């Protein structure tokens, strides 16, 4: 009986250790650094204010990330958005703060979430006056884009 209790205790300790290790690994995998984003992406789909963006509106749109800046180009390669950004990868999904002047005298700050899985990137953010997103599904004054890495 005592041997069974010891074996059960050992098995429980091993399982708890394995579970903690798996949790630590998944948290490490979910952490995103600016260097993970660097490169060019093609927008493959979008959603705004709870509705799908028509494919023809996102067709040809590209995004380039450096370690501290994001720039969006339309199908004619005209820059349509540029911002500096910071990441808070201490939470899952990772939080992103983008700051842009947008041709205005004051900076506009967009708060959002970003995640990368392989070569696919998802970014959701709130326009000024919108609520900060808590999931990858848009509400009023929120935009979501799915992108595939091209370089």
Reduced to 3 states, what is the DSSP secondary structure of residue 45? strand
Q: Is the pLDDT of residue 3 over 60?
A: no
Span 106-128, mean pLDDT? 95
Span 18-31, mean pLDDT? 45
CATH of range 34-149; options 3.30.43, 1.10.3470, 2.60.40, 2.40.128: 2.40.128
* Structure tokens, 131: 């609520």
Span 123-147, mean pLDDT? 96
Domain limits, the chain: 1-30, 34-149
Q: Which of 89-93, 103-107, 144-148 has the lowest mean pLDDT?
A: 103-107
**pLDDT reported for residue 31:** 85
Look at 149 and 106; give whichever has higher pLDDT: 149
pLDDT tens, position by position, 41-80: 999 999 999 999 999 999 999 999 999 999 999 999 999 9
pTM given for the model: 0.78
**pLDDT reported for residue 4:** 37
Q: Are 135 and 44 in contact (CB under 8 A)?
A: no
Nearest 5°: the CA angle 100, 86, 101 is 5
């Amino acid at each position: 009986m005592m041997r069974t209790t010891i074996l059960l205790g050992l098995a429980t300790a091993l399982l708890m250790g394995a579970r903690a290790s798996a949790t630590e690994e998944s948290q490490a995998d979910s952490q995103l650094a600016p260097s993970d984003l660097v490169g060019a992406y093609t927008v493959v789909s979008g959603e705004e204010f709870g509705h799908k963006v028509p494919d023809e509106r996102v067709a040809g749109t590209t995004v380039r990330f450096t370690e501290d800046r994001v720039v969006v180009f339309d199908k004619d390669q005209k820059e349509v958005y540029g911002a500096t950004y910071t990441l808070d990868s201490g939470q899952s999904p990772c939080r992103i703060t983008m700051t842009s002047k947008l041709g205005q005298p004051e900076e506009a700050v967009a708060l959002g979430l970003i995640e990368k899985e392989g070569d696919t990137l998802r970014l959701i953010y709130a326009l000024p006056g919108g609520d900060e997103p808590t999931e990858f599904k848009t509400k009023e004054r929120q935009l979501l884009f799915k992108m595939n890495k091209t370089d």
